[in-house]
Structure formats: C-alpha cells, structure tokens
Amino acid sequence: MSAAVKDSYKIVIIGGGPAGLAAAVSAKQAGEDDILILERDHELGGILNQCIHNGFGLHTFKEELTGPEYAGRYIKQVLDLGIEYKLNTMVMDISADRVVTAMNREDGMFQIKAGAVILCMGCRERPRGALNIPGYRPAGIFSAGTAQRLVNMEGYMPGREVVILGSGDIGLIMARRMTLEGAKVKVVAELMPYSGGLKRNIVQCLDDYGIPLKLSHTVIDIEGKEHVSAVTIAEVGPDRRPIPGTEIRYTCDTLLLSCGLIPENELSRSAGVDMNGVTGGPNVNESLETSVPGIFACGNVLHVHDLVDYVSEEAVRAGQNAVRFIKGELDEENDAKIQLKATDGARYTVPATIDAKRMEDLLTVRFRVGDVFKDSYVSVYFDDERVQHRKKQIMAPGEMEQIILQKKDILAHPELKTITVKIEKE
C-alpha cells in the first residue's frame, strides 16, 4: 500500500513474514484497526516465498501446503482486512519509548510513534566466517538459503556436484531439491553426533534419495582457487577436532552451508531489550512482551522454530497481547514474577518469566533439548515439587518440545519462585 505514512500508529509490526502477517491479522481481529506492517523486501510473505516444498499448514489449516500457499492465505487475510503495510522499507532503529525510525525511496527517512511494537524480523543463516574452514575463498560456496532462493525463485542452478555441510532443515531440503533438478548430492556432513533437522526431513530428503548423512564429520579442506573443485571431510572426536586418517575427498563444484540459524535481533538490541544467550532472541514473559514495556516478539526472531505453524500460533498471541497493552489491560508486571529455568538437558524456555495474574488459563512453554534423549522424561518442578513427569520415546535438538502450564495450578502455589524444566531418566 503506498498511502503516506502517518506519524503514529497504535501497533507497528516489524517484518511481513509469517509471524508479522499472523500478528497483524490477530491484532485486527482483537479490535485494533490502526496497524502498520513494515517489510524490507518487495513483497509480503518473507522466507516462505522461496520454500516451495510442501509440509506447511498441517496444524493451522489442517492441510498440507507449500510455503507460498501458506503465506498466501495470510496475505489474503491482511488484504481483506485492509491492514496497512509498507514494502521496500528498512527499519533503522527502535527506541525504548517505541519510536520507530525507517526509510524507503518514496518517504525517505521517517519516524513513527507506536503504541506497541511487535518484533517479527525472523532469522538469518550463520555465516561461513564463523566456521573456520581453511582454504581460499573460491566461487561455488553458498549458504543453503541462498541456494534455495537461486533455484526456486530466480531459476539459477548453483552447480551440478554438491557437498552439503550441516544438516539443518534448509540443508536437508536443498539436498532433495538439487537432486530433483539433476545435480548429484555426494554427501551431507554434520559436525554434531545428531542431525539439526526434523526426522521427517532426514527420511524424505536424504534416505528416499540415497544421499549419505555422515554425523560427527566436518569439512577440513576446500580445493580450488577460482572455483570449488573438491572438498575433504573428516570425522571428528568428542572434542570436535578432526581425527587424522578419517579424511574422505569428494570432487564437487558446489558447497552448501547449512550450519544453523540466528534470530535477527540488531533492532531488538538497539531498543535495549534483554537478550537470551542461548536462543539469541529476547527474553519474554507470558504475554510475549520483552523487558521493554510495549515491545513484543514472536516467531524466529524470538527463537528458531521447526514448524511455521508454531510461528503463527505464537504471533496470534503477540497480536492479541499488543492490543491488550494498548487498552491498558496488561497490568504492570509483578515484581514477584516467577522465573522459568531449563536444566539437565533442556537448553532454554520461552517464555523466561511468568506473572501468574497476567497469564491466560493455559500457557504453552516451548524449549529445545541439547542432545538426543531416548526413553526419558520431561519433568516440571514448582520450586522443589515435581508437578509434571511425562515420558518421551525420543527427543532431539532439531525438534522443539513443549509443556502446558495451567493458571489454576500456579495460583495454587502463591509462594512459587521458580518453575524448572528438566530431562530425567526415570
């Protein structure tokens, strides 16, 4: 929409991907009309536009959709509801008092005073510089997401003989995609002793196409000065160092890197939001509100999700709570708020704190584990009392876990200080 931007909006949403779209629709349905979405790309939908494989929407729409189809459902709702949005618009800064500074070609640099801000910037791929691979910097090395965009949206094939480092979901999906486009994917090497992706993607994208997955392996050498000509991988020990004598050399013209995702939080930091060292995203409370009042976060900017359906579900709550904040229905947080703690195999929890008076009747707490656990229990402790103990056949770092907390249970423990989530063997 190209209408002139006003200098204030009740709700400003940063990002027009799946989180931003769902948050906008939810806020509108909760009764707020004065909403603006700011999106830096030239179209709404975010990363879903390049995810042309299916598997999206099973929870949200009860049917299997491709990424563009899933995004299209939400884009249609945004258009039908008349929600205002600005494309090709880069947000430069968010202040602690919710003044958003942005710029685009039509309006130049402008500022908007927001009643509430919802952060929906998504995540980015971990760069190669963080990987410490020796060798030159030849052509033919791509992040998996860049390769996905080239193949699916721009019609370019990065190469014909491919090695993939990292078994994140994008890397697994690109192993299948490159194979379907006629390339030979020689191997997927993963530094950790377990895959970083969903089990269904390992089966559907590697096993079904006979592509080997080598766990506890990493790239130790890249050959080629102008262009990649070969890659050597080696097994690593428990200290993650290569084991001499285990080297395998593959000739290839392409190396794809799928080494994890990082929430995109430069703007959150500039607003003074308290960050979580494990997730790389903000610490939020039961309302998905950050440490800065009136600034909310949801989706992959908060913590990296495995399913977009969960992103949308979280964004619905963020949109509703932003409206509650504007209406003054979210009381000041309690000083005696309850801390959530993840230990013994659980790496983090979202949210990080709970104010029992402000929470809804049921609260979903999401977390990830730090290793593969078989026949183990997810346990929840209220201070020292164990209140949940649920057996899981398998838990892996690539799949998000969750527990449900009930408001009535928490209110029944008026002195409660800490809720602990841990993994136990019995």
Q: What is the pLDDT along the chain (426 residues), one digit of tens a residue?
A: 456 789 999 999 999 999 999 999 999 999 999 999 999 999 999 999 999 999 899 999 999 999 999 999 999 999 999 999 999 999 999 999 999 999 999 999 999 999 999 999 999 988 755 556 766 778 999 999 999 999 999 999 999 999 999 998 999 999 999 999 999 999 999 999 999 888 999 999 999 999 999 999 999 999 998 999 999 999 999 999 999 999 999 999 999 999 888 999 999 999 999 999 999 999 999 999 999 999 999 999 999 998 999 999 999 999 999 999 999 988 776 667 899 999 999 999 999 999 988 889 999 999 999 999 999 999 999 999 999 999 999 999 989 999 999 999 999 999 999 999 999 998
From residue 390, alpha-carbon distances to 312, 393, 423 in Å are 26, 10, 10
| pLDDT score at 392 | 95
Residue 305 near residue 400 (C-beta atoms within 8 A): yes
* Other CB atoms within 10 Å distance of the CB of residue 75: 19
For residue 210, what pLDDT is reported? 97
Give 196's strand partners.
none
Residues β-bridged to residue 13: 37, 118
Taking Cα atoms as reference points, which of 358, 336, 350 lies closest to residue 403? 350
- Whole-model pTM? 0.93
Q: How many angstroms separate the CA atoms of 383 and 366, rounded?
A: 19
Q: How far is Cα 330 from Cα 121, in angstroms, rounded to an integer? A: 24
Whole-Å CA distances, 425 to 368, 374, 378, 390, 422: 17, 9, 9, 11, 10
The pLDDT score that the predictor gives to residue 395 is 95
Cα Dmax for the chain: 67
Q: Which spans in 346-406 are helix H?
A: none
Q: How far apart are CA 402 and CA 26, in angstroms?
A: 22
Helix/strand/coil for 8: strand
Pairing verdict, β 90-94 and 99-104: antiparallel
Integer Cα distance of 15 and 241 in angstroms: 39
212-218 contacts, C-beta under 8 A, 24 or more apart: 212/187, 212/188, 213/167, 213/187, 213/188, 214/187, 214/188, 214/189, 214/190, 215/167, 215/190, 216/190, 216/191, 216/192, 217/189, 217/190, 217/191, 218/165, 218/189, 218/191, 218/242
Q: What was the pLDDT predicted at 189?
A: 96
| Of 166, 372, 335, the residue nearest 260 (C-alpha) | 166
CA pair distance 263, 297, nearest whole angstrom = 11
Residue 118 one-letter amino acid: I
Q: Do the beta carbons of residue 424 and residue 344 sit within 8 Å?
A: yes
Helices and strands (H, E) in the chain, number of each type: 8, 24
CA distances from 318 to 199, 278, 398 (A): 29, 21, 24
| Residue 195 in tokens | 């895959």
Q: Report d(CA 400, CA 369) in Å as an integer.
A: 8
Residues in the chain: 426
Other C-beta atoms closer than 10 Å to the C-beta of 218 total 22
